[in-house]
Chain A
Amino acid sequence: MLGKLRRLNQDASKIALEESERLPSEERRRFLRSGLFTAGGAMVGGALAGIAPKALASTQFPPEIPPWTRTLGAGVVTDPYGVPSPFEKDVIRRNVPWLTADKVSSISFTPLQHLKGIITPNGLFFERHHAGRPDIDPQQHRLMIHGLVDRPIILSMEDLQRFPSVSQINFIECPANGGMEWRGAQLNSLQFLHGMVSCAEWTGVRLSTLLQEVGIKPEGKWLLAEGADGAAMTRSIPLEKALDDVIVAYAQNGEALRREQGYPIRLVVPGWEGNTHVKWLRRLEVGDKPWMQREETSKYTDLMPDGTAHGFTWVMEAKSVITSPCPEMPLKNKGVCQIEGLAWSGSGKVKAVDVSVDGGQNWQQAQLREPVMSKSLTRFSLEWKWDGNPALLQSRVIDETGYVQPTLAQLKQARGTNSIYHKNAIQTWKVNGDGSVVNVQLS
């Protein structure tokens, strides 16, 4: 079998070599130099990546016949776990070095400017770790459910997957998304301004199923979720929410959770601030009162101008942002273009999105692209004819509760500039005459 394959491979190489002989002499030399062939005439699987940048450097447009049309490509399982084209190397999560003391307790941002549709690829889902990303062996991981329950249990990851499963598409957003911008426009990038939001299809077990399994005692009112990482991250969640739509997820977009997303299991608390979606989940305790943990008292509480702070502000209120154009994706041509963006609401479905090109004086209703789902990212678009003049682009979401996304001036009026979290204000992009796009704030 192997011998036959080798012969086939050699045959293919021979044909390709013969083909190359028909090329003009200069092109043939380039082709052979490109490293697609070794001395033995065997194909080198990963060589395509080597030739590709060279191919771009010289024009391969019609009437040229590009080299990749006249050669064989890499074989199957060249990348047993597929990776993006090397031409997509800029499409990565990025961090803001000045934001945190250490990468171990920090955040990375999703490159929203490059993404299509509503699903965030698993490798681009934003990261927020408080004590780094643990590498957990699922065989050694256990979920304990105890407290005010009739039957405290310990579940292996195999046990967990025996329960009936559900899949749901939900966004997760860090409540600090955009939090650097309360006092003024600082960052000129969609990725860094809004990239603490991502969206995936989560598969797991309904928390209500698990809680029913252990039997909640009548005095049980709250749930504590705890992670197995070095932060042993904890949050108190009222049982009403826990029994509503929360899941213990083990899969993300069809595969096991990524380690950065809590492998082997995490909580998904649809529509609520990212911090409650406890990753590397190891323990669920039912109690009669909230635990007032560090993450719900000293952090993730919103300081108001009068010195008081609001706690338990769990819901991510409706928000939207134009993803094209944006600082990373300037307008290159006058004429008809598609303004595109993302909208979401922690309170339910997106009902409508409006777009303004004059800084919010006048609005037009954008088109919502299916599917429109509760507590999920929703894609919108509006066709616009850009005349080459400066413009102030904004989007504004209205969710199914009737809530209308506020302006930054309104939010600052109501909340001051020191609340850090929950900045869901309308984003303004200034389009300059040359098509470049800048993050600006309006008074």
Chain B
Amino acid sequence: MFSFHKTPRLLASTCCGVILASMPILGAAEQTGYYGYGESATDEQIAAWDIDVRPDGMGLPEGSGSVDEGMAVFETHCASCHGAFGEGMGRYPKLAGGDGSLTEDRPEKTVGSYWPYASTLWDYIHRAMPFFAPQSLTDDQVYAVTAYVLNLNYIVEADFVANKETLPQVEMPNHDGFIWEDPRPVVNNERCMEDCKEEVTVSDSAAGKNLTPSTTGPLDEGITE
């Protein structure tokens, strides 16, 4: 690729126009793919769209935000859905608490109890929050809210300042709680055709529970819980 850029200049000074005109074709094998459709993406274009952040910190921008700064941003942009302390409002997600609840009957999967990587928090707030105005926060505000939510979960101290150096070092409580390999199938059945069970007992029925919206007529807004 490097030599491609050099070659035309060299040729431009030494060759005639006829050969020059054929240069894009000569260079095509290197600079473009087989089809050569579309345009090359410039560094500037890529930088503007490449917003993902990885656990190792790759993708985190310059800037920073403290827990205190985050509290102010959170109250303005986040608390109406998530509650002032991340306790969640209605069916909007709870962000804090639930420590040790993953083995309980009703686990609470929050940033503190479940999320394995702090980087995910920055990435997600930046790409998709606030819910009603995604990608409207500045990088500093995203750092600040990230710091605040981590502090709500007692993962960082109140004086924590999030930036591209500190955030990847934050160890999440449930970091080791995941198995990143699919163990399925977890049930291995034989294909039994006859006398496969001794008895059959109905343990539960949906009849009469009144949870099912109507499947005829207009959309059913009636059943709310």
Q: Which residues of chain A have a CB within 8 Å of any CB of chain B?
A: 90, 92, 94-98, 100-101, 105, 111, 113, 130-131, 144-146, 150-156, 159-160, 162-163, 184-189, 191-192, 212-215, 224, 226, 230-232, 234, 282-283, 285, 287, 289, 291-294, 297-298, 301, 303, 305-315, 317, 327-328, 352, 354, 358-365, 392, 398, 403-406, 410-411, 414-415, 418, 422, 428, 430, 438-443
Are A362's CB and B194's CB within 8 A? Answer: yes
With A292-B119, A440-B205, A440-B206 in contact, do A97 and B213 touch (Cβ < 8 Å)? yes
CA distance A96 to B220 in the complex (A): 8
Task: Name which of B14-22, B107-115, B153-161 contacts chain A.
Answer: B107-115
Are A131's CB and B225's CB within 8 A? Answer: no
Listed by A's residue number, 30 A-B pairs whose Cβ atoms lie within 8 Å are A95-B213, A95-B219, A101-B81, A146-B50, A155-B37, A185-B204, A185-B209, A188-B207, A191-B215, A234-B127, A285-B50, A287-B54, A289-B54, A292-B54, A297-B115, A298-B111, A311-B179, A314-B182, A317-B184, A354-B191, A362-B195, A363-B192, A363-B193, A364-B193, A404-B190, A428-B202, A430-B202, A441-B203, A441-B205, A442-B201
Q: A231 — which chain B residues lie within 8 A by C-beta?
A: 127-128, 134
Interface digits, B183-225 against A, CB 8 Å rule (1 contact, 0 not)? 1111111111111110011111111010111011101111111
CA distance A410 to B190 in the complex (A): 13
Q: A213 — which chain B residues lie within 8 A by C-beta?
A: 33-35, 37
With A187-B206, A410-B189 in contact, do A151 and B120 touch (Cβ < 8 Å)? no
Task: Name which of B5-13, B38-46, B65-73, B143-151 contacts chain A.
Answer: B38-46
Q: A92 — which chain B residues lie within 8 A by C-beta?
A: 219
Are B124's CB and A294's CB within 8 A? Answer: yes
With A101-B91, A213-B35 in contact, do A153 and B41 touch (Cβ < 8 Å)? yes
B100 to chain A: closest residue by CB: A307
Is B51's CB within 8 Å of the partner chain A?
yes
CA distance A403 to B52 in the complex (A): 37
A130 to chain B: closest residue by CB: B128
Are A212's CB and B33's CB within 8 A? Answer: yes
**Least CB distance, B88 to chain A, in whole angstroms:** 10
A190 to chain B: closest residue by CB: B215
With most chain A CB atoms within 10 A of its CB, the pick from B38, B190, B209 is: B38
Are B182's CB and A312's CB within 8 A? Answer: yes
Are B212's CB and A414's CB within 8 A? Answer: no
Q: Chain B at the A interface: mostly helix, strand, loop or mixed?
A: loop
Selected contact of A186 from candidates B32, B39, B209, CB within 8 Å: B209
Is B62's CB within 8 Å of the partner chain A?
no
CA distance A104 to B190 in the complex (A): 43
A181 to chain B: closest residue by CB: B206
Are A162's CB and B37's CB within 8 A? Answer: yes
Is B177's CB within 8 Å of the partner chain A?
yes
Are B179's CB and A100's CB within 8 A? Answer: no
Selected contact of A298 from candidates B46, B54, B114, CB within 8 Å: B114
Are A291's CB and B52's CB within 8 A? Answer: yes
Q: A230 — which chain B residues lie within 8 A by C-beta?
A: 128, 134
**Least CB distance, B134 to chain A, in whole angstroms:** 5
Q: Which residues of chain B have a CB within 8 Å of any CB of chain A?
A: 1, 31-35, 37-41, 45-46, 49-56, 81, 90-92, 102-103, 107, 109, 111, 114-117, 119-120, 123-124, 127-128, 131, 134-135, 177-197, 200-207, 209, 211-213, 215-217, 219-225
Selected contact of B39 from candidates A153, A185, A314, CB within 8 Å: A153
**Least CB distance, B123 to chain A, in whole angstroms:** 6
Are A308's CB and B178's CB within 8 A? Answer: yes
With A188-B206, A406-B187 in contact, do A303 and B102 touch (Cβ < 8 Å)? yes
Starting from the known contacts A111-B215, A184-B204, 20 additional A-B residue pairs (CB-CB under 8 Å) come to A97-B221, A151-B33, A153-B40, A160-B37, A162-B37, A185-B206, A187-B206, A187-B212, A232-B128, A297-B115, A297-B116, A297-B178, A303-B107, A306-B103, A308-B177, A308-B178, A359-B202, A360-B196, A438-B207, A441-B202
**Least CB distance, B37 to chain A, in whole angstroms:** 4
With most chain A CB atoms within 10 A of its CB, the pick from B111, B127, B193 is: B127
**Least CB distance, A279 to chain B, in whole angstroms:** 14
Are A155's CB and B182's CB within 8 A? Answer: no
Q: A297 — which chain B residues lie within 8 A by C-beta?
A: 115-117, 120, 178
**Least CB distance, A348 to chain B, in whole angstroms:** 14
Are B124's CB and A293's CB within 8 A? Answer: yes
CA distance A125 to B119 in the complex (A): 34
Q: B55 — which chain A residues lie within 8 A by C-beta?
A: 292
